């Protein structure tokens, strides 16, 4: 049975046992209602403790039921039954109480927690709001401001923070069930029957000014996402309406979110994130043990990669041929760890452990005991070829040799060794210790064992791994190159960089393409274009504006000016007349009469270039599935998750509509707008990328 009830004297203990996460499946909901009915019928019971088997209290709804008709009893009715139980109830929260799990706990008269408890309402991440009274009961417990922070961010509170906020009444270091029972006995002895939150009429901690600030912050942070704004609207309803009317408003808002296309996009992103690391046909059980990781290159990427592996519990050796650069890299690692400590992200003990696993490698020969060596040197093929020849000679048999290259052909590097089956790409995104995406690049010769090892390894350092084939730029940067060209062409034709950035931010992108260039460094794009000069087709339109900026020393944020100007110590872009003059002069040289672009056309040219190149990548087998591309763009390039990723977004528009627009754009530039065969086929057959 998934829900059991056992009397311990005058206290009934209700236990949920529905592994792996004690989800609120239909049979669990039914079991809870039945348990309350049994307690109500037994006059020997004076109180009840609700807890769960395993390490999680209740992980929320059952994802297997997503998209299926709801079955009775419905969760709001289950919670109402708990709240109206004849005797006082206490939720003994062991582990996570998330979403519906916290809503169930809020239906109890009291809540206590173990030290590992987490309490949160993360529904916003699925494009929804809590739909079983959470937006109405939580404000009646902790106030609308704190409840609003929780429902808009979706971030769970630790046990200590939940106690400080008033979400739980006590935290016990051990013996949670026994302590919860004693807690309830003390309440009974004192005649404290607790209060059902639905009966609270005056909410605590109301501060209109703080709530207004939270509203402004939520709108800015949401970047067009509906659910956080709507969740806060529901929390305000708790402050302004009766519980009954507030529940009705919660249900109205919940259904509004449920019927939004954003909800579909976020649900797709949710499931895609769980599917993306599962490589069809790859046996993930056959892996190599990895304990010692060495990083070649102590620059920004090398430091970030080192921090990621240190946080994952690995021993890390840092090497750089330049001793000053190596020392600077080590100092940056230590300073970052100290900063994490000061911000409460790690404990002093954890920081000491990470520093203890960090070592300096002064001689490449000392890499001979490493299980994994990641090259993060300058993006120069000749340099990297030399490094891999050296690593082939030095590394022990079975060591995995990886490169962090963003663009270069890893098959060439593999051929420089006598162990091509051990060579793989691990393309981290900067800053590597923060960004979630890891493109795992499969060479033509890499073994399944090495591939499975790296895919598994990425999980242990908190990465979302996406498998890519070898091509220039792999999945992410190849698509970036395609849509960035369209942005450049539009600037030559009359749009301003700030127009394009504004339009894409309004779509929900974290940054516009020109602000991204300034952040990454205009020099990076410049050198990549020089690498391509000899092979660039004559039919391809080429924009020089970025080259002109580079030649004037405008490298972006690092130099204080790029497409935008930046004040000292600030990352805020300021429109710069110098850039405007450079663009105007280039238009005049080309004989272009500037025209205006609507935000809609800007978005279509950027997004449809992205989709068309994505379709070409699928055609070529560089990405195995459309969801792989979606995950790269959501987690590596700031594509709004509520649109589901570029390929999911294409399906919402319709492949026929996308193809028709690509053909229309091709009338002006037939070289740039060659429709991918897959896009053409899907448009003609009524297919979708999801089904391809």
- Judge whether 252 counts as a catalytic residue: no
Distance from C-alpha of 147 to C-alpha of 137, rounded to nearest angstrom: 9
Question: 110-113 and 157-158 as β-strands: parallel, antiparallel, unpaired?
Answer: unpaired
Query: What Å distances lie between residue 112 and 130, 151, 194, 566, CA to CA?
Result: 21, 21, 13, 50
Distance from C-alpha of 641 to C-alpha of 436, rounded to nearest angstrom: 14
List 103, 233, 375, 439, catalytic entry: 103
Sign of CA dihedral 508, 509, 512, 518: positive
Q: Using the 8-state DSSP alphabet, how is residue 571 labeled? A: -
Chain-centroid distance of CA 539 in Å reads 39
Q: How many CB atoms lie within 10 A of CB 125?
A: 18
> Alpha helices of 190-297 — where are they, by DSSP H?
208-222, 226-240, 243-258, 261-275
> Buried (b) or exposed (e) across 63-96, using 16+ Cβ within 10 A?
eeeeeeeeeebebbebbbbbbebebbbbbbbbbb
Lookup: tokens for 345: 């992200």
Distance from C-alpha of 392 to C-alpha of 564, rounded to nearest angstrom: 44
Q: Using the 8-state DSSP alphabet, how is residue 461 labeled? A: T
Q: Classify 374 as helix, strand or coil.
A: strand
Q: Using the 8-state DSSP alphabet, how is residue 570 labeled? A: -
- Judge whether 103 counts as a catalytic residue: yes
Long-range contacts of 566-573 (CB under 8 A, 24+ apart): 566/518, 571/519, 573/498, 573/501, 573/515, 573/518
> Alpha helices of 541-636 — where are they, by DSSP H?
545-551, 577-590, 599-620, 626-636
Q: Using the 8-state DSSP alphabet, how is residue 556 labeled? A: B
Quick one: three-class SS letters along 11-58?
Answer: EEEEEECCCCCCCCCHHHHHHHHHHHHHHHHCCCCCEEEEEECCCCCE
Distance from C-alpha of 358 to C-alpha of 303, rounded to nearest angstrom: 11
Q: Are 79 and 107 in contact (CB under 8 A)?
A: yes
Lookup: tokens for 631: 């995950």
Spatial CA neighbour of 477 closest among 638, 630, 633, 279: 633
Q: Are 176 and 63 in contact (CB under 8 A)?
A: no
List 37, 83, 123, 375, catalytic entry: 123
Distance from C-alpha of 353 to C-alpha of 313, rounded to nearest angstrom: 9
In sequence order, which residues have a C-beta less than 8 Å from that of residue 172 and are 6 or more positions away? 112, 113, 114, 115, 179, 180
Query: What Å distances lie between residue 185 and 12, 166, 445, CA to CA?
Result: 12, 21, 66
In sequence order, which residues have a C-beta less than 8 Å from that of residue 309 and are 6 or more positions away? 293, 295, 316, 461
Lookup: tokens for 497: 């960089």
Indicate which residues carry an active-site annotation: 103, 123
């Amino acid at each position: 049975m998934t829900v059991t009830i056992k009397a311990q004297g005058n206290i009934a203990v209700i236990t949920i046992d529905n592994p792996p996460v004690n989800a609120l499946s239909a049979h669990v909901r039914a079991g809870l209602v039945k348990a309350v009915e049994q307690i109500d019928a037994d006059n020997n019971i004076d109180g009840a403790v609700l807890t769960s088997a395993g390490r999680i209290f209740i992980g929320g709804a059952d994802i297997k039921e997503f998209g299926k008709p709801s079955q009775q009893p419905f969760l709001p009715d289950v919670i109402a039954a708990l709240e109206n139980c004849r005797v006082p109830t206490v939720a003994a929260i062991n582990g996570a109480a998330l979403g519906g799990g916290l809503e169930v706990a809020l239906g109890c008269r009291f809540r206590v927690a173990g030290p590992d408890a987490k309490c949160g309402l993360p529904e916003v991440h699925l494009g929804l709001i809590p739909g079983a009274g959470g937006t109405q009961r939580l404000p009646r417990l902790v106030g609308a401001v704190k409840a609003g922070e929780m429902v808009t961010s979706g971030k769970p509170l630790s046990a200590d923070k939940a106690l400080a906020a008033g979400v739980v009444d006590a935290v016990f270091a051990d013996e949670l069930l026994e302590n919860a029972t004693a807690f309830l006995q003390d309440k009974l002895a004192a005649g404290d029957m607790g209060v059902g939150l639905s009966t609270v009429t005056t909410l605590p901690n109301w501060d209109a000014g703080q709530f207004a600030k939270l509203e402004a912050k939520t709108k800015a942070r949401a970047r067009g996402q509906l659910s956080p704004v709507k969740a806060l609207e529901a929390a305000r309803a708790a402050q302004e309406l009766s519980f009954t009317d507030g529940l009705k408003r919660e249900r109205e808002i919940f259904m509004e979110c449920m019927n939004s296309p954003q909800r579909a996009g976020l649900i797709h992103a949710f499931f895609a994130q769980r599917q993306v690391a599962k490589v069809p046909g790859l046996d993930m059980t056959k892996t190599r043990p990895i304990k010692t990781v060495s990083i070649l290159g102590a620059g920004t990427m090398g430091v970030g990669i080192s921090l990621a592996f240190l946080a994952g519990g690995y021993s890390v050796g840092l090497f750089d041929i330049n001793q000053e650069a190596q020392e600077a890299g080590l100092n940056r690692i230590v300073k970052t760890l100290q900063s994490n400590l000061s911000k409460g992200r790690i404990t002093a003990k954890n920081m000491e452990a990470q520093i203890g696993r960090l070592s300096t490698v002064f001689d490449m020969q000392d890499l001979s005991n490493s299980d994994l060596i990641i090259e993060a040197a300058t993006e120069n093929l000749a340099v990297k070829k030399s490094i891999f020849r050296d690593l082939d000679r030095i590394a022990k048999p079975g060591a995995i040799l990886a490169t962090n290259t963003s663009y270069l052909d890893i098959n060439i590097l593999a051929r420089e060794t006598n162990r091509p089956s051990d060579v793989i790409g691990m393309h981290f995104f900067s800053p590597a210790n923060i960004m979630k995406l890891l493109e795992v690049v499969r060479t033509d010769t890499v073994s399944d064992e090495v591939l499975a090892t790296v895919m598994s390894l990425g999980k242990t350092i908190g990465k979302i791994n996406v498998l890519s084939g070898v091509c220039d730029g792999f999945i992410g940067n190849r698509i970036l190159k395609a849509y960035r060209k369209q942005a450049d062409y539009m600037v030559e034709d009359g749009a301003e960089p700030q127009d394009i950035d504004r339009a894409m931010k309004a779509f929900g992108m974290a940054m516009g393409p020109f602000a991204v260039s300034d952040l990454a460094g205009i020099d990076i794009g410049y050198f990549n274009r020089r690498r391509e000069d000899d092979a660039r087709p004559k039919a391809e339109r080429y924009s020089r504006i970025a080259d002109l900026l580079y030649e004037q020393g405008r490298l972006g944020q690092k130099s204080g000016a790029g497409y935008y100007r930046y004040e000292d110590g600030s990352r805020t872009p300021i429109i710069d007349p110098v850039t405007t003059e450079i663009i105007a002069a280039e238009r005049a040289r080309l004989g272009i009469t500037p025209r205006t672009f609507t935000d809609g056309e800007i978005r279509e040219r950027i997004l449809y270039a992205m989709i068309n190149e994505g379709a070409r990548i699928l055609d070529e087998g560089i990405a195995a599935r459309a969801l792989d591309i979606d995950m790269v763009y959501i987690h590596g390039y700031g594509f709004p998750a509520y649109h589901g990723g570029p390929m999911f977004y294409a399906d919402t528009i319709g492949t026929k509509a996308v193809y028709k627009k690509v053909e229309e754009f091709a009338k002006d530039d037939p070289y740039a707008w060659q429709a991918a065969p897959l896009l053409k086929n899907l448009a003609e057959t009524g297919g979708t990328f999801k089904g391809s």
